[in-house]
């Protein structure tokens, strides 16, 4: 863990909010054409990145609800536990690439708000619970805090330059 990682629910929520606001301040500057037309070499649009982030964020909701994350994402269990993230991402992108932009935005905001509400209901100690406490078919001892950071803050930061590269083509 880095020194700057949050250790409390309050700190985590503040970090997520800051990252979310920065990400969407950028996304909201983009036109519909920029979000839906140009693609990268793999065929992804900026819109595909938005729904991708939303789906990974929603796996956190599933985790907290003790619902199988793989099932929630619509991925076969063997593929999920094969840990081939590129394959999982390709499946999700193909399945959702035709979702209208307005629906993508609404889905992401709803998923995000649900996640924020669920995190706010946790205790500081809960953040250190292993994923396996929430996923009966998992043996992961990784603290759920790390999942929250990687599938929110780090995802927004990671995808921003990829989206920027795509939209620069318009």
Tokens of residue 37, six digits? 């037309």
Stated pTM of the model? 0.93
The confidence score (pLDDT) of residue 4 equals 79
Give yes or no for residue 39 having a pLDDT over 50.
yes
Question: Residue 71 — φ and ψ, nearest 5°?
Answer: -70, -40
- How far is it, in rounded angstroms, from Cα 54 to Cα 105? 9
139 pLDDT band, cuts 50/70/90, is confident
Q: Specify the CATH superfamily of domain 9-167.
A: dinb family like domain (1.20.120.450)
């Amino acid at each position: 863990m880095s020194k700057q990682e949050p250790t409390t629910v309050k700190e985590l929520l503040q970090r997520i909010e800051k990252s979310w606001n920065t990400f969407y301040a950028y996304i909201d500057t983009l036109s519909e054409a920029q979000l839906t037309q140009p693609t990268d070499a793999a065929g992804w649009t900026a819109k595909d990145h938005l729904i991708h982030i939303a789906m990974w964020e929603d796996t956190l909701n599933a985790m907290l609800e003790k619902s199988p994350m793989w099932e929630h994402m619509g991925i076969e269990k063997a593929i999920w536990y094969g840990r081939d993230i590129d394959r999982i991402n390709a499946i999700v992108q193909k399945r959702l690439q035709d979702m209208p932009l307005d629906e993508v935005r609404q889905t992401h905001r709803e998923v995000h708000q649900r996640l924020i509400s669920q995190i706010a209901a946790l205790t500081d100690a809960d953040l250190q619970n292993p994923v396996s406490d929430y996923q009966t078919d998992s043996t992961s001892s990784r603290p759920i805090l790390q999942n929250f950071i990687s599938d929110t803050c780090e995802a927004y930061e990671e995808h921003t330059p990829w989206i920027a590269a795509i939209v620069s083509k318009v």
